[in-house]
Structure 1
Amino acid sequence: MNRRDFIQQAALTTIGPALSRLPVAAAPDYTLRIVPTTLEIGPKIEIRTTAYNGQVPGPILRVKENSPVTIDVTNATEVPEIVHWHGLANGTIPDGAVEEGSPIIAAGATLRYRFTPKPAGTRWYHTHAMAMDDLSRATYSGQYGFLLVEGNSPVPAYDQEVNLAIHHWNPSFVPMVETMRAESANAPQTSGSDVGYQYATINAHMLGAGEPLRVKPGQRVLMRLLNASATENVLVALPGHTFRVIAMDGNPVPNPRSVEVLSLAVAERIDAIVEMNNPGIWVLGSTIAAERAKGLGLVVEYANASGKPVWRDPAAADWDYSSFASARPVPDPAEIFILTFRDAGALDNSKFDTWTINGDAWPKVKPLMVDAGKRYRLTFRNASGDQHPMHLHRHSFEVVRIGEKSLSGLVKDVINVMPLQTVSVDFLADNPGAALLHCHQQLHMDYGFMQIIQYTAS
């Protein structure tokens, strides 16, 4: 059974009971409608996609930590859909992953999601459908938006806030890069495909299209950046300025610090304060010229400034998660799970590669069993030439080791594991029920790169 068959079977067995629980009289806090949409991302450049309420990103949802919320989602498309509330400590039913038992939303149906949002911070919502070889579906589409959970902890002072979601458009399959394979620990393959893109946007527009971000000298701007692309990790900079990183994946970092370049793997978020102290007209965008040419950028315009937008290449620098962390000792885990990732090549006459964890591809995997209340360590061993942004549902984790470097206090829900790198994260088993662990690159997730963590019976 492949992932498409698994989800189709889940739709048949779960949609009826879930929809029967939808109250008719009570009004929801928010309403989302999944609809076919046409976006004009640049002059005479239109994208046909699917989006929430016909806009990209979808509506910003602001909720209070620990205050129950209801969200009605109507699927006005012709295919089954599902919404994942990324970064929340949800139950399995509202989490939005069929692999955990969450219900599918049938074409034309409405489903009410009920949950109590926590923890506070920059979360987001997006489809958790599979795409397989249909690159118009799942996270290749425009189905994503910010979910901001407001808590009681103080936030550094700022004068303006902006929410910036990065996305790549017009995907197509391209041959797998052979040089990437040569650097990996995999046996050489001659088949398989990757995904390439024609355009990129910040929010709904390419660089130079749409309105600029208008600022004033002396302002402190809180920028929430989200990488909502299906498969592309990104590096972004704002020449002449620095980003003071205060949170990652919505969680405050132990060591806020300023950097010139931000690295965001697929599904990662960064909250940063930018002091507007260099008047002019600048390009906030990818550090890679080819990506800016696709549109990955935004014009930042100071009041009373004139001229063309300026880009300057930042100094080369490696992205180092540990620089935002602390170095205090961490408790010993109850158990360590060592998970090795490999590209198994194109199996069963498929033109797409299958990804495995410890030799198994979803859905033929054995769950990792945990006991409630205990601390566990996941050690990710990347034996491939790809980067893998690893996401754990319904839990946050503490990054405790990257290569030979120990660290602590950096709490995330996505960690990017570089080629041939080993990374360890600890999580507290405090949210019983199935929890999905997967690479957030859509192509990898669709073709096997998933694992279930399951709690033992109490």
Structure 2
Amino acid sequence: MTITRRGFLAAGTAAIATTQFPAFAQQQQPDPIQLAATSRVLDVNGRAATVFGLAGPSGQGLVLDPGRRFRVELTNDLPEPTLIHWHGQIPPNIQDGVPDIPMPMLKQGESRSYDFEPLTGTYWMHSHVPMQEIRLLAAPLIVRTEQDVAADRQEVTLFLHDFAFKSPEEVMAEIRQGHGGGGHGEPAERDGHSMAPAADNEGMDHAAMGHGTMNHDAMSGGQGAMDGMTQGMMPGMMGDMADMEMDLNDYNWDAYLANDRTLADPEVVRVERGGRIRLRVINAAAATVFWIDTGKVLARLVAVDGHDIRPLDGHRFGLAMGQRLDLELDLPNEAGSWPILALREGARERTGIVLATAGAPISKIPELAEQEAPAFDTDLSQELRLEARQNLPERAVERSHMIMLGGTMAPYVWTINGAVWGQHRPVAAKTGERVLLSFHNMSMMGHPMHLHGHVFQVVDIKGRKVNGARRDTVYVPPMSMVTVALDAGEAARWMLHCHHMPHLETGMMTEFQVTA
């Protein structure tokens, strides 16, 4: 998936037109851009698999020219209703893409128009029905700037998925029954030991996002009663949890995909000797955290979730579900090939792509590494190193909320402030207020927390004040607290949820309710 530079432009265009699997390419279509939710067939290690996708004029996904508005006509070509969320963008709430909040899903054959000024950077789009996202109903959404054009870097997008041949319903049934096989220490055998009480929950319906019955009485409940939860813990409880082993993965997927392919047949991106690359990495996986390993090539991390940070050099960076990384790579001035690998945290599985000059030999890369990759950012050391290039303006905080994250592996239920979606109490704010949200994770799994309709800044990590990254999705590891600051936007119901799809499917969502 490339946007080429100099002499590579013509060759790249030809490759896009002839490749077996659609490439993601720069748009040249007149307004409105046509985008379709549709089915497609992938070859996954020699087996055909029918999955979902988002087909634009040049393949899966959209890339917008500098200065172009997001004017899109979305058509549902699937045999079931769907709706697409523009992850990280800030459209009018009516265009946000959450079923029935406020717009209904699109029926088969139905279309809907979208028109808003997009944020620039690396974003993506996906169904807000968890079962559909597990079936790969997602694609990149790249909005380029004039600076991107002037930088004269070859742009490469790395779009990551986890994949199962079984249906999402079968996957969820195995996870609920404790047979997913992905955790440490047989997590299905344990209690889960959540600090937040799990609500009585039989699971969410097919959309879970908009078809539950709202508890309107709860919407006037103010700040809630969770702020002092940690102060009332029984002695020794924190120590008991510290002795437990965190659960990294709760399902062993059949394959891990990079741009729809595995390492059995990876995408090979042609590059120049001494090539200058901007690598846009998007973690669209349902339930897998990845490390991005650039091998012998030094990477420079320049943006997260579409927003610039002060550059950070390294060879390995991690990202949780829903998050994005922009990496700049300067390749050696020689012929060769350079694998860019995505390593599944706490496991040996990996996927990736290969950057290679013309005619360079490409070695076979095993799909299993020799050693397990470590857990991701359990001490938040990576997040602590990220510093925004542009901070939120200084102003007084007018409202604060403690957001308690809880849940158990058995029964498999995940909660926000002790409740599942439909039994939740909205998190309240007024338009224009400076708001602090403190995410306190009292479960033994990490949670990538995503807020719709807003960009926030990380301002406190485990009690340490920081001028952290600006984001839309922040990872909160077990037994940790991360605080973000934001200015409340449009008066509307904005979803706030974990981007681990099985967690979301079992209720881990609330709403950030902004009033005028």
TM-score normalized with structure 2 length: 0.72
- Structure (1 or 2) with the greater strand fraction: 1
* Number of the residue aligned with 1:125: 125
Deviation of residue 214 (structure 1)?
Answer: 2.1
1:71 counterpart residue number? 72
Per-residue deviation, residues 62-114 of structure 1 (Å, max 9, x unmatched): 1555x5433222212221100001111111111101263133101232222x2
Provide closer, same or farther for how the CA distance between residues 115 and 326 of structure 1 changes in structure 2, counting only shifts above 3 A.
closer
Is contact 1:200-1:291 (8 Å) kept? no
- Could you tell me how far apart the structure 1 residues matched to 2:121 and 2:485 are? 20
Question: Partners of 1:247 and 1:408 in 2: how far apart?
Answer: 15
The answer to whether 1:377 aligns with 2:436 is: yes
The aligned counterpart of 2:363 is 308
Amino acid at match of 2:98: A
Question: Could you tell me whether the CA contact under 8 Å between 1:57 and 1:146 is conserved in 2?
Answer: no
Q: Which amino acid aligns with 1:428?
A: D
Q: Which residue of 2 is the match for residue 3 of structure 1? A: none
Aligned equivalent of 2:42: 39
1:417 corresponds to 2:473: no
Alignment map for 1:53-64 (pairs within 5 Å): 53=55, 58-62=60-64, 64=66
Partner SS for 1:401:
strand
Match of 1:323 in 2: 385
Cα distance change on mapping 1:180 and 1:449 into 2, 3 Å: farther
Counterparts of residues 137-152 of structure 1 (less than 5 Å): 138-151=132-145
Q: CA 1:345/1:257 → structure 2, altered by over 3 Å: closer, same or farther?
A: closer
Q: CA deviation at 1:331?
A: 4.1
Q: 1:394 aligns with which of 428, 447, 453?
A: 453
How far residue 322 of structure 1 moved from its aligned partner, in angstroms, is 2.1
Asked if the contact 2:193/2:408 (under 8 Å) is kept, the reply is no
Residue equivalent to 1:199:
255
How far, CA to CA, are the matches of 2:503 and 2:414 in structure 1? Answer: 6
The reply to whether residue 340 of structure 1 matches residue 404 of structure 2 is: yes
Deviations 1:318-354 (A, max 9, x none): 55112121698964421110011111566xxxxx622
Q: Contact 1:219–1:275 at 8 Å: present in 2 too?
A: yes
CA distance in 1: counterparts of 2:108 and 2:295, whole angstroms: 46
For residue 165 of structure 1, the aligned residue among 145, 159, 162 is 159
SS in 2 for 1:51: strand
Q: 1:54 to 1:257 in 2, by over 3 A?
A: closer
Pick which of 93-102 and 320-329 moved more: 320-329
Change in Cα spacing, 1:452 to 1:36, as seen in structure 2 (3 Å) is: same
Contact 1:168–1:232 at 8 Å: present in 2 too? yes
Work out which of the residue numbers 437, 442, 453 in structure 1 matches 2:501.
442
Structure 1 pair 216/249, CA: closer, same or farther in 2 (3 Å)?
same
What are the residue-to-residue correspondences of 1:265-280 with 2, within 5 Å?
265-277=320-332, 280=336
Does structure 1 conserve the Cα–Cα contact (< 8 Å) formed by 2:259 and 2:267? Answer: no
Aligned to 1:22: none
Q: Does 1:209 align with 2:203?
A: no
- TM-aligned CA deviation for residue 281 of structure 1: 2.8
Choose from 320, 339, 359 the match for 1:283. 339
Q: For 1:373, give the aligned amino acid.
A: G
Alpha-carbon distance change, 345 to 213 in structure 1, aligned in 2, over 3 angstroms: closer
SS in structure 2 at match of 1:321 = helix
What does residue 11 of structure 1 align with? none
How many angstroms apart in 2 are the aligned matches of 1:439 and 1:163? 24
Deviation, structure 1 residue 375: 0.6
TM-superposition CA deviations, 1:102-152 (whole Å, max 9, x none): 33101232222x221332211111111132xxxxxx211222122122345
Corresponding residue SS for 1:365: coil
Structure 1 range deviating more: 103-112 or 199-208: 103-112
- Report the CA distance between 1:292 and its aligned residue: 6.6
- CA deviation after TM superposition for structure 1 residue 419, in Å: 1.0
Native 8 Å contact 2:343 2:351 kept in 1 = no
3-state SS, counterpart of residue 385 of structure 2: helix
**Inter-partner Cα distance in structure 2 for 1:78 and 1:59:** 20
- Give the match for residue 429 of structure 1: 488
- The C-alpha deviation readout for 1:34-56, integer Å capped at 9, x for no partner, is 222211133x2222111123999
1:275-302 CA distances to partner (integer Å, 9 max, x unpaired)? Answer: 1127533332134599675x61222323
The 3-state SS of whatever aligns with 2:130 is: coil
CA distance in structure 1 between the aligned counterparts of 2:57 and 2:259, rounded to whole angstroms:
10
| CA shift in 2, pair 1:304/1:109, >3 Å | closer
- Paired position in structure 1 for 2:279: 223
Residue type of the alignment partner of 1:407: V
Range 375-384 or range 74-83, more displaced: 74-83
Percent same amino acid among aligned pairs? 25
Measure how far apart 1:307 and its partner are: 5.5
Say if 1:57 and 1:165, in contact at 8 Å, map to a contact too. Answer: no
Residues 29/89 of structure 1: CA separation in 2 closer, same or farther (3 Å cut)? same
* Partner in structure 2 of residue 16 of structure 1: none
Amino acid aligned to 1:157: A
Offset at 1:33?
2.0
Matched residue, 2:12: none
CA distance in 1, matches of 2:100, 2:500: 17
Letter in 1 for 2:512: I
Find the residue that maps to 1:197 and give its secondary structure: coil
From the superposition, tell whether residues 377 and 213 of structure 1 become closer, same or farther in structure 2 (CA, over 3 Å).
same
Q: Which of 37, 43, 51 pairs up with 2:53?
A: 51
> What is the RMSD of the two structures over their aligned residues, measured on CA atoms?
3.3
* Corresponding residue of 1:19: none
Q: 1:402-442 CA distances to partner (integer Å, 9 max, x unpaired)?
A: 11322115100011111111110011112221111000111
Q: Rate the CA distance shift 1:153–1:284 in 2: closer, same or farther, 3 A.
A: closer
| Unmatched segments (≥5 aa) in structure 1 | 1-26, 132-137, 347-351
Q: Unaligned stretches of 5+ in structure 2?
A: 1-29, 204-248
Letter in 2 for 1:380: F
Question: Aligned pair in 2 of structure 1 residues 362, 46: CA closer, same or farther (>3 Å)?
Answer: same
Distance in 1 separating the partners of 2:307 and 2:341: 24
